[in-house]
Amino acid sequence: MIVDDAEQTHVFQVADFGRLPLVYSNRNMSSLDGSTPCVGSDSYAIAEIAFRELFSRDCAAYAYLEWFLPTSWSVERGEAFERLVRSADSRFFRHRMPEVKDGAPPAELSEWLVGLPKPCGIFAVNDRVGCCAVSSAVKAGVSVPHDVAVVGVDNEVRQCEASPVPLTSIPQDNEGGGWMAAQLLDDLMAGRPVRLAQMRVLDIVRRASSHCPLDRRVERAVEFIRNHAFERIGTDDVVAVMGCSRSLAYLLFKKMTGHSILHELHSVRLTKAKELLRSGMPSGVVSDMCGFASPVDFRRRFKMQTGMTPKQWALADSCIVK
Domain 216-317 has CATH 3.40.50.720: no
pLDDT of residue 83: 95
| Cβ-count burial 227-264 (b if 16+ within 10 Å, e if not) | ebbbeebebebbbebbeeeeeebbebbbebbbeebeeb
Q: Where are the domains of the chain?
A: 2-42+173-198, 45-170, 216-317
d(CA 122, CA 137): 11
pLDDT of residue 285: 92
Superfamily covering domain 45-170: Response regulator (3.40.50.2300)
Given a cut of 70, the residues of the chain with pLDDT beneath it are 1-19, 21-36, 101-105, 177, 194-196, 212-214, 258, 317-322
pLDDT of residue 70: 78
pLDDT of residue 321: 43
pLDDT of residue 322: 41
Residues 6 or more apart whose Cβ sits within 8 Å of residue 70:
none
pLDDT of residue 185: 76
Are the folds of 45-170 and 216-317 the same?
Answer: no
Chain segment 106-139, per-residue pLDDT in tens: 788 999 999 999 999 999 999 999 999 999 998 8
Q: Is the pTM above the cut of 0.85?
A: no
Q: What kind and span of H or E run contains 148?
A: strand 148-153
Q: What is the four-CA torsion angle of 217, 220, 223, 229, rounded to 10 degrees?
A: -90
